[in-house]
Structure formats: structure tokens, C-alpha cells
Structure 1
Amino acid sequence: MTVVAVPGSKSVTARALFLAAAADGVSTLHRPLLSDDTDGFAEGLAGLGYDVVRGAREWRITGRPAGPAVDEADVYCRDAATAARFLPALAAAGHGTFRFDASAQMRRRPVAPLTRALRELGVDLTHEEAEGHLPLTVVADGIKGGAIELDASLSSQFLTALLLTGPLTAEGLRIKVTGIVSVPYVEITLAMMRRFGAEVTRDGDTFTVAPGGYRATDYPVEPDASTASYFFAAAALSGRTAIVPGLGTGALQGDLRFVDVLREMGAEVEIGEGATTVTGTGRLSGVTVAMRDISDTMPTLAAIAPFADGPVRIEDVYNTRVKECDRLEACAENLRRQGIRVETGRDWIEIHPGTPAPVEISCHGDHRIAMSFAVAGLRTPGTTFDDPGCVKKTFPEFHEFFAGIREQWGV
């Protein structure tokens, strides 16, 4: 039985940084995630003139309800989709000229649904190269607000960026969603907005956000449920027990539902008030599961799928094709190189039982591919990675941390 201290949630940390920057007063974030993505987000805020003081376990942000403290800035968002999608919306609610760029990987990822919505709200915004992609420049003069339609079927982050910005508009926002993915992430957004004092409601596909801003808050960041999936999967795969404190019945993050998939496959799962425990039983059954709402854990399941006693079919995960890489295809490619039979379609992957061969995993610069196949490496000694350092995006110490867990378990 091993207690696994998982780092703070990337999703919660990014939202908390936005909310704290927009709030009236000084907010303190407790146990935020320290990673390349969150560091990039915090640096982006600093570049926009916000006062961000970062300690080892606490970050203090002095909010500016009126928007950035500078009237001109050039912000580099690294690989962070949250920074590349949230910060332009935050800046648009202020006054000045703000340019946003990112890594080549992030430049390939779309921002069009968000920037189209901002333009409909009257924001002067220009894509410098490919339409719908970074780099982009925002000439901000506040946002009046109003009613818009949004397609969030590729990423819920487009909706989250607009929701977070809603209280900063003069008249509030009414957003009708025509398509949506990863709904639990939207629920995180709504809960956190309310914690920071905003008034936001949902009626079916329509979200209504009242104007009025945010108030400063002390906010504890819960452990990252997507990261926890690797340790839960490792326990299920190896017949050991992993306990993750801080993720229980009151957790905000939908990715905790990954343990329900492991339960269906045969693992023992207990979700308590303050922790979740997964124990492997020595068997994994085949399963068919739709993972649209927990798609960040799709690679975790795909990597361990060959060890099930029947096919594992993962459905409704088209949005994984527009993440850091085409995750669906990256999983299929690596599994085939390991000698595993795999079929894929536009939004699904089916993986058949087999004994994976040790190969060098092609990470495609994607932290989730690296961490997922590291878990499968428990049963495939000799597995290596072409880019092990890509885990810095969310968990820089992952490989050392995971090696410590392996040593405790003797696997």
C-alpha cells in the first residue's frame, strides 16, 4: 500500500491564476502545480504587469480588475494551451496592445473558436500568420459583453476562457454552446468562478455570466486527477495499491472518473471523502468505454490495454487528435511498434491483447504519451523514450518519482 503525493492540478492552477489576476485584492494559491505550463502562465501574467509572487508552496497574486497594468506587452505562452487561450481573453478585457505567441507545437493547435467569439464581442484581434492560430495581437479597449454562440467541440478551454472573462465585461455574457467536449472541465470553471465571487448559471446549452468582477480568495489547489491516473493504472496493472490523498468525493476534476474505468476492468476502487484508493486484483478485463469527458486519460488506458484479457475499445475521443500531438494516432503508432494489433477510426481506437515488445516510445513532445507508456513499462522492461524530458510540461520530476514508486512495489 503506497500513498502517492500527486502534484497540484494543472487545470485548477491555471484557472486560479486567471481568477486571482482578475480579482479585487490579493489572492493566495496553496500548493499550486510547479511545471513548465504553470510557470509559463505565471510569467505571462507578469509580462502583462500583474504582481505575481511565487514561493515553494504558496503563490500570491495581486489582482487588477481593470486589466493588465501595462499598455503594451509581448507574451510567450510556451507549450501551454491554457496560457495561449486564457491570457488573450484576459488582456482583451483591459486596455492596450498585447501580442501572444507560443512554441511551434502550440502554434499548430487551434484557437479559432475563441478568437472568432472575441471578434463577435467587438475585440480588435489579428492573427499574424495562419488564421485561427498563434501568433495573434489583441488591441484591447474593454469588452461590452452580450450574447454569442460558441463551438467548443474541439476544446472546452475556448468556453472556459470566455466564461472566466464574463464578469470583467460591462454587461456580462450569454453564451450558447453548439458543441461541447470535456464537460467536467467546464464544471471546474463554474465552481471556481463562484468561489471567487462571480455569478454564473447554466441552463442546458446556455451559460449566463453576470458582470461585477471577482473578489480575492485564498484557494487550495487539489492534486491533479489526470496525473493521478498514471498511478491508479500502475496499481491496477501491477496488483499493488495506490492511495492518492486530496482526491475524494468532493474533487472538482472529472478525470477522477478514470478509476471507474479501472473498476469496470476488474480493479478494486474506493473513493472516500479525502482520498481515492485503487488496488490491482491480478486481472484486467476488456472494456468498451466512451472517454469524451475524460479524454486526457485516454493515453493512460490505451497504454495498459494490451494487458487486458479482451479488446479495449475507446470511443468518442476525436478531440485527442488536436492536443499536444494527435494522441490517438501516437498511441496507435507506439502500440503497433510494440507488436500489438490496433484499429483506429476518426474518434476511436481498439486495442487487442498481446505482449508488448520493449521499444523506444515516440513521445511526439507530449507529456501524456511519455507518462502513459512509462506505466505500461512496468510490464515491459527495457522500454525507453525518445524525449523523456517532455514531462516537464506538467510533472518535471515524474520519471524519478515513478522510479521511487516502482522501487517501493518491487516491480
Structure 2
Amino acid sequence: MDITLELKKRITNQHLTISGSKSETNRLLLLQALYPQLKIENTSNSDDSEVVKNALFTLNESTEINVHHAGTAMRFLTAYFATQENKQTVLTGSSRMKERPISVLVDALLQLGADISYVEEVGFPPLKIIGKKITKNKVTIDANVSSQYITALMLIGSTLPNGIEINLQGNLTSLSYINMTLSVLHSLGLKAAFNDKIIKIPFEKEIKKDVFIVESDWSSASYFYSIIALSAVGTKITLGYFRQNSFQGDSVLPEIYKNFGVQTTFQNAEIILEKTSNVKTQTFNFELNNTPDITQTLIVTCLGLGMTCNISGLHTLKIKETDRLQALKNELEKFGAAVAITNDSIHLKNKVAFSINPVEIETYQDHRMAMAFAPLALKQPLIIKNAEVVSKSYPDFWNDLKALGFCIS
């Protein structure tokens, strides 16, 4: 489904409620499967979370589980099914999923004694997993590839008879997501310690707290930060439900978007975003090693404001739903921007003149490409290809944009 997106009237102060964090929800769903007394409120309604939920609670009798494009599901479920004694499972996914490496996690689980083999190409899904009781408890893993590999081990750690000790090698990427996992474990009363690149999690028979209310998704909020940044001074949007002391790494958005004249006010579990001033600086440099998921949003904001932007710490983006660095370069250049990419950075030199003619945005089966570019409809009409891809993380996105005054056809 392709859509044409443009703004017909000025945005007025609207109140939107964003569904629960996909990252928190997926961690909690796995913990709920391990500790069935856990009750979760305000869960994400994303496709990714539905995939995890179905795999754990609906499709549990099936020997083959297709996670489609859900990378988080592939990684978390690999660790989970490795611990399910006497259960045989084949984890597979889309053609893109079969191109996304998983050997770092599989090798770590094999160190612990898991029974996992590759069905097709070595190092990539599909995986054949025969669940067994895992008694080894020490594992070494590369920390500079994906934090989700580490989180997958952390989530099963407290149910292993001897717990788990994870030794991290190399520079740790996406530290904020490791800290989120630690915070979720701690909030349920599970012990977990992280010191000097060693994570220790002892065996725990039960959780101490059995209800968890999921915070709304800060990654999803990022698109509204971009909309406010590209709007006139005085424009406001109110979003719920958000905590000032968030577990989510992308909660750095209020600080980052101060650079673009956006003020964030926390009030009664909501945030009020207001454009309070125009941008005075023309060049920004950002290091997003801990929060790579907001890269697309941030660089599109800079494009819309006519700024030059340099973003580094992005080595994980090449193994996401698409090669996000190359995809960004392709689409940003359609607006006349000069874009250079390396293995872990993107550089935007911007002298864009927007027009009344629609620009066609390819989404590459990547939800964040669709949503990150959408705010540019404030500057000129867009055609978003395969717009339904947003359901991966934010199914209500286009309806929420309509509520703000965007015209979608």
C-alpha cells in the first residue's frame, strides 16, 4: 500500500497515547513465559510483539515458528527454546531474516551446552533447536555486535539451575539496552549485577513482583519530536504514557531535541512537546552508539531544517531490517542532499530546496524508514511506498498523523 502524505492545515495541540514500548514488552513476554505468574499491562501492539507472544503462548505446539522480519524475536526465542527441555523447534523468518547473522548468539549458547544447528547457511537462520537442561553457567560473548544477543542470555539466566555469568569482550554497543534489561529484571525482584564487563545473574525460582506496567515507546515518540522541530514556534503535542526516569535508551530525546528548539515538559505521566525557538546552529555532531534506532529520525530532522549533520556510532545499522545507512543515503539524495556513509557513520551536507512536487520514499521493508521520513510532509508532499510496514512497531502511526492534521490518501 502506497500513500500520499501532506499537511493541509497547521498542527494544533493534540493529545496522543502511544502504545507500550516494544523493547520492554518483548523482554517481559519472554520473562512471563519463564515466570507465568507475571502480569503485563499496556503491552505494545506492534507486529514484533505479536510474533513473540504467538511463539511463546499460541504456537507452542508447533515445531516450526516463523518470526518474519522480527529480529528481536529471533534472538530472544533462540535463547528461550534452547532451555525448553525435550522440545524441538525450528526458528525461521523472512528472506531478509535469513541474511541477518546470528552466530554470535548461537556460539554463546553452544558454550553453555545448548543443542542448536543451522538448517541452511551456517551462521544464519533458520535454526534447529532441541531444548535441554543447561547446567553450565559461564559464557564469553562479543559485545560489539548487538546488545540483543546479550539480553537474550540475560533473560534466561535467572531460570538456569546455576544462573549465568556473561563475560563481555570488546567495546559494548547499545549499552542503554543492556541497562534496560537490568532494570526490568530488578523491577521484578530478580538479582542481576553488571561490573567490569561481567554480568552475573543467579538462579531465582520466583519473581518478587508480579505486575509490570509497560511505559510507552520512546522510539515511537521520536517521530513527533521531529514533527515539532519542523513546525512553527508555538506548536505543541501531548503524548502519554511516559516516565521521566525511563528504562529506555531513547529517552535521551528531550535532551537531543533541545538542539532543535523543542522543549519537553513532564506532567502527570505525559510529555508536552513544544517548539519554543528556531535553530541557531547550522552543524550538529551526534554519537549514537547507545541509541542507534533514532538515527533515521534525527538525520531527517536535520534535512528538514536545512542543517549539516554528522552522526557516528552506527555499525549495527547495516544488519537491521535493511542496511539503514545505504537506505538513508538513497532517500536523502532524492531531496538534493549530499550524503556520505562509512561502516559506522553518516554525514549530511544540506542545501535542499523543497518543492510542491511529491518525493517518493522507498521503505525497504523497514518501519523506521517510513516513519522517520513522514515529518518531511511538513515541507513538501511525499509518497510513502509500502506504508503498511509501520505495523512492525507502531500500527496506529498513520491514524495518529491524521489526528494531527496530516492528509493521507
The match for 2:226 is 233
CA contact (8 A) 1:305 1:352 kept: no
Local SS of the residue matching 2:194: strand
The match for 1:205 is 197
CA contact (8 A) 1:258 1:294 kept: no
Deviates more, 1:123-132 or 1:242-251: 242-251
The match for 2:308 is 311
Query: How much does 1:407 deviate?
Result: 5.0
Amino acid at match of 1:265: F
The match for 2:363 is 363
Amino acid at match of 1:372: A
The match for 1:379 is 379
Deviates more, 1:305-314 or 1:216-225: 305-314
Q: Percent identity?
A: 26
Residues 64-104 of structure 1: per-residue CA shift (max 9 Å, x gap):
xxxxxx6x722111211121111121111121211111111
Structure 2: how far apart are the matches of 1:47 and 1:394?
A: 20
1:260 matched to 2:252? The reply is: no
Structure 1: how far apart are the matches of 2:238 and 2:144?
A: 33
Local SS of the residue matching 2:130: strand
- Which 4+ stretches in 1 moved above 4 angstroms? none
**Which residues in structure 2 correspond to 1:384-403 (within 5 Å)?**
384-403=383-402
The match for 1:62 is none
The match for 1:64 is none
The match for 1:108 is 99
1:82 matched to 2:77? The reply is: no
Structure 2: how far apart are the matches of 1:356 and 1:407?
A: 18
**Which residues in structure 2 correspond to 1:10-409 (within 5 Å)?**
10-23=22-35, 25-47=36-58, 49=60, 73-95=63-85, 96-178=87-169, 179-215=171-207, 217-239=210-232, 240-271=235-266, 274-281=269-276, 283-284=278-279, 285=281, 286-353=283-350, 354-356=352-354, 358-380=358-380, 382-407=381-406
Structure 1: how far apart are the matches of 2:58 and 2:90?
A: 11
Amino acid at match of 2:224: F
Query: How much does 1:365 deviate?
Result: 0.5
Query: How much does 1:343 deviate?
Result: 1.7
CA contact (8 A) 2:331 2:362 kept: yes
Structure 2: how far apart are the matches of 1:262 and 1:122?
A: 46
Relative contact order, CA 8 A, sep 6+: which one is greater?
Answer: 2
Structure 2: how far apart are the matches of 1:362 and 1:407?
A: 20
Query: How much does 1:298 deviate?
Result: 0.4
CA contact (8 A) 2:370 2:390 kept: yes
CA contact (8 A) 1:172 1:209 kept: yes
Q: What 5-or-longer segments of structure 1 have no aligned partner?
A: 50-69
Query: How much does 1:308 deviate?
Result: 3.0
Give the root-mean-square deviation of aligned CA atoms. 1.9
Query: How much does 1:265 deviate?
Result: 3.0
Structure 2: how far apart are the matches of 1:310 and 1:255?
A: 22
Query: How much does 1:309 deviate?
Result: 4.8
Deviates more, 1:263-272 or 1:296-305: 263-272
Amino acid at match of 2:186: R
Query: How much does 1:268 deviate?
Result: 2.4
Structure 1: how far apart are the matches of 2:145 and 2:267?
A: 33
The match for 1:2 is 14
Structure 2: how far apart are the matches of 1:3 and 1:110?
A: 40
TM-score under structure 1 length normalisation: 0.89
Query: How much does 1:195 deviate?
Result: 2.3
Query: How much does 1:48 deviate?
Result: 5.7
The match for 1:55 is none
Local SS of the residue matching 1:32: coil
Amino acid at match of 1:298: T
Structure 2: how far apart are the matches of 1:107 and 1:282?
A: 46
Query: How much does 1:266 deviate?
Result: 2.9
- Residues 1:407 and 1:377: Cα distance change in structure 2 (over 3 Å): closer
Local SS of the residue matching 2:106: helix
Local SS of the residue matching 1:7: coil
Local SS of the residue matching 1:168: coil
Structure 1: how far apart are the matches of 2:238 and 2:197?
A: 36
CA contact (8 A) 2:230 2:305 kept: no
Query: How much does 1:124 deviate?
Result: 1.2
> When the two structures are aligned, how many residues end up with a matched partner?
385
Deviates more, 1:209-218 or 1:252-261: 209-218
CA contact (8 A) 2:329 2:339 kept: yes
- Residues 1:393 and 1:347: Cα distance change in structure 2 (over 3 Å): same
Amino acid at match of 2:263: E
CA contact (8 A) 1:225 1:255 kept: yes
TM-score under structure 2 length normalisation: 0.89
Structure 1: how far apart are the matches of 2:268 and 2:181?
A: 22
CA contact (8 A) 2:158 2:190 kept: yes
Query: How much does 1:282 deviate?
Result: 5.2
